[in-house]
């Protein structure tokens, strides 16, 4: 009763009676792969704290944060961000009286983006060493569009439209329910046309052997095998091609606003990390 009174006083109507109901409401509408990732983070938190979400204290959160010390800083930040997001949502729907997550300070992780930006020559070698027509086109698609792996897996033939001079554009629907239109080269479009055959408009651009869209683990395996053939020892993932596309485009004079729009970033601040990760000037030039 007390919780309901607080919820009403805040102008909220309690919409969940259990943790599981609250989590289900919080996850609703998120992409399937995002739901899986969030669920793993929250399950880890609940297993450690072992008390209902409305009873969680700041001390619980701080002890949980300390328990993550053995993980990579980026993983710690992601897990805690998931927990803070859930607790904020629980207050919003009246399930919790307070958002104790608001008081938890999440330290910034070291920015390791520079380590995951491949030189253009390495990207080109990875693509060239892939002989399979579908996989070759897929790798080039990742690089030219800068799309996320989930966006590649969901691409259908209806999303590709020819343009003048042999070019084409791809309609990408991805993170944040954002739609963007990305121009691709004649070379890539020709590869895609050869793959198309008589596939219907709603068929996946990159199908598996069963005809269904490739799943994300399959794309990872293709990428890692191609990187090994190219002699790349780093643990390359599809997202590395997204980093490479943004960084190489900026290096070659692409307007930062275009990179932002083509990659679907929420703000220029997000895109600007690529500028800072690969500086073109240095203090040494000015030291005498």
Residue 160 phi, psi (nearest 5): -110, 120
Choice among 33, 92, 180, 239 that is catalytic:
239
Rounded CA separation 69/246 (Å): 31
Choice among 46, 242, 243, 248 that is catalytic:
242
For residues 197, 201, 202, 203, the Cα torsion angle rounded to the nearest 10 degrees is 10
Choice among 134, 148, 243, 260 that is catalytic:
148
Rounded CA separation 123/166 (Å): 24
**3-state SS, residue 88:** helix
Residue in the structure block whose two tokens are 């998931």 = 82
Q: Note the maximum CA span of the chain.
A: 73
Q: Confirm whether 276 is a catalytic residue.
A: no
Q: Confirm whether 265 is a catalytic residue.
A: yes
Q: Confirm whether 44 is a catalytic residue.
A: no
Rounded CA separation 242/276 (Å): 16
Choice among 33, 129, 175, 229 that is catalytic:
175
Rounded CA separation 86/125 (Å): 43
Q: Confirm whether 156 is a catalytic residue.
A: no
Choice among 46, 125, 136, 265 that is catalytic:
265
Rounded CA separation 109/77 (Å): 7
Rounded CA separation 283/287 (Å): 6
DSSP state of 174: E
CB 44 within 8 A of CB 88: no
Q: Confirm whether 110 is a catalytic residue.
A: no
Q: Confirm whether 274 is a catalytic residue.
A: yes
Give the number of other CB atoms < 10 A from CB of residue 185: 13
- Catalytic positions, written as ranges: 148, 175, 239, 242, 265, 274
């Amino acid at each position: 009763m007390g919780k309901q009174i607080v919820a009403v006083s805040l102008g909220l109507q309690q919409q969940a009676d259990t943790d599981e109901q609250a989590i289900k409401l919080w996850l609703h509408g998120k992409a399937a792969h995002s739901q899986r990732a969030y669920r793993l983070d929250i399950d880890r938190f609940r297993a450690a704290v072992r008390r209902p979400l409305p009873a969680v204290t700041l001390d619980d959160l701080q002890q949980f944060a300390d328990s993550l010390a053995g993980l990579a800083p980026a993983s710690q930040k992601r897990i805690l961000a998931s927990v803070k997001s859930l607790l904020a949502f629980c207050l919003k729907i009246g399930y919790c009286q307070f958002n104790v997550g608001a008081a938890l300070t999440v330290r910034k992780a070291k920015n390791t983006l520079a380590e995951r930006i491949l030189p253009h020559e390495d990207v080109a070698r990875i693509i060239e060493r892939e002989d399979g027509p579908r996989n070759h086109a897929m790798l080039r698609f990742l690089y030219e569009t800068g799309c996320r792996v989930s966006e590649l897996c969901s691409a259908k033939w209806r999303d590709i439209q020819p343009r003048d001079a042999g070019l084409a554009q791809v309609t990408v629907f991805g993170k944040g329910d954002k739609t963007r239109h990305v121009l691709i080269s004649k070379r890539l479009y020709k590869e895609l046309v050869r793959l198309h055959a008589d596939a219907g408009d709603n068929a996946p651009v990159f199908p598996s052997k069963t005809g269904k869209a490739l799943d994300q683990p399959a794309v990872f395996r293709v990428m890692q095998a191609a990187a090994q053939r190219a002699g790349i020892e780093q643990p390359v993932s599809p997202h590395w091609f997204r980093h490479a596309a943004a960084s190489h485009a900026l290096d070659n004079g692409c307007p930062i606003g275009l990179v932002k729009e083509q990659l679907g970033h929420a703000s220029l601040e997000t895109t600007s990390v690529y500028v800072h990760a690969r500086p073109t000037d240095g203090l040494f030039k000015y030291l005498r």
